[in-house]
Amino acid sequence: MIFKKDNFVFGCILGILAPIVGLLLLKYYKFGMLNFKEVLQFIYYQPGHGIMTAGLSVSLLMNAIFFTFYINSRRDKTAKGIFITTVLYGVIILLIKYLS
């Protein structure tokens, strides 16, 4: 099974894709009636980008789920890749929040 791998690059890829899935889940939960393009426009043009930073922060919960799974199953290389990408996402979110 693919989730039994213990590889740093796999963890980075999983860490990049999991928040995107989380963002898609947020889109369907919060903005179900809009298409994806309209949601992105609404989020981007909203003053202060409050929904964008909140949505991205919530989407990082997917990384937390995967990180916890890989730490508990002692696959440390994959967990390290997920952690690195989570930190990078967090820095990007903080930059968007405080520089916009």
Give the tens place of pLDDT for each residue, 9-68. 999 999 999 888 887 887 788 878 888 788 778 777 776 666 777 777 777 888 899 999
- What is the reported pLDDT for 8? 94
| Structural contact between residues 61 and 89, judged by C-beta atoms closer than 8 angstroms | no
Angstrom distance (rounded) from CA 65 to CA 95: 24
Please count the structural domains in the chain.
1
What residue numbers bound the domain in which 95 lies? 2-99
Would the pLDDT of 84 be above 90?
A: yes
Give the tens place of pLDDT for each residue, 23-34. 788 778 887 888
